[in-house]
Amino acid sequence: MEAIRAANATLDPQSVAAWLVQQADSWVYAPCWAVVAHDMNGQLAVMAERGLLPSLGPSLWSAANWVVLNGVEFLTSDHESDPRSADGAAGSVIGFPLRCRQRTIGALVGIDPAPSRTVPVLGPALTLSLRTMLEPPAIALDNALAVQKAEALSVTDDLTRLYNSRFLNQVLRRETKRAVRSNRPLALLFIDLDGFKQVNDTHGHLAGSKTLVEVATILRGGARETDVVARYGGDEFALVLPETGREGALAVASRIRERLSNWRFLASLGVSVHLTASIGIATLPDVAASTEELIRAADQAMYRVKAAGKDGVQVAQE
């Protein structure tokens, strides 16, 4: 009952996993405990850990992968000589499957970097008890991951995996309030691809979709960690640059324009497509005092680039 109440007290996957790590450490002492589960991309990732040193990484992943694949407990006194281990694994390890709805969603792994003189043994009754104890946290973790994935999908563009326009508007309103309150600058970039319609007309809509995915990759590479990159709609994109003034925004826009211009799109399909972009920049508080004014100014600056011959950057003026 304690496990059911505590594990379901939150819908944050990391919090559920952290609770499980804490409980495991109180049940059986080990220098390292970790919860590994499939993330939103379907890849195994560490959800929570205690005492996980870089040197223990091979042991953790070797045991976790084995447990998830086989769905049963993993017990070894010397991981280095265990035939189930991967290169670099060592020490004594215990691993428990986190099973939910007839599938293994992750693993709870305990590691001691030193090998043990005896193989850890769990009797049938204790194994059954542990499986029963771990099922509620596994269900809670699976539910939390499902909610996290649903929330991510609600703000993500299906094709490019960038943020969508709905999330962009939310971020802009939040960042605008923060910029005004803290008296810090905020910049918005509007990016429109030049001649994208010709890609669809010449190579088909599948090629056009692939081109947009490649554009998204370039935009991510040209943005900073603090920037928000979104697909505004069609072949229009936007970047929100917190705490960035006119000069900083101009540098980011110029870098993106150059990378797009130098990229050869659809090379994997055996063709070479050249695209350019028209980019409009608006900054707060220079030319706007609200979210709506910032969007309007960036959009107008972008259309001035279009009118001037495309493939350029224009900063909105007061």
Q: Which of 82, 157, 194, 235 is catalytic?
A: 235
Name residue, tokens 């499957």.
97
Q: How far is CA 11 from the centre of its chain?
A: 18
Core vs surface per residue 289-308: b (16+ CB within 10 A) or e: eebeebbebbbbbbebbeee
For residue 53, give the 3-state DSSP assignment.
coil
Catalytic: 158?
Answer: no
Q: Is 251 exposed, middle or buried (0-12, 13-18, 19+ CB in 10 A)?
A: exposed
Tell me if the bond preceding 285 is cis, omega within 30° of 0: yes
Q: How far apart are CA 191 and CA 219, in angstroms?
A: 10
Active site residues: 235
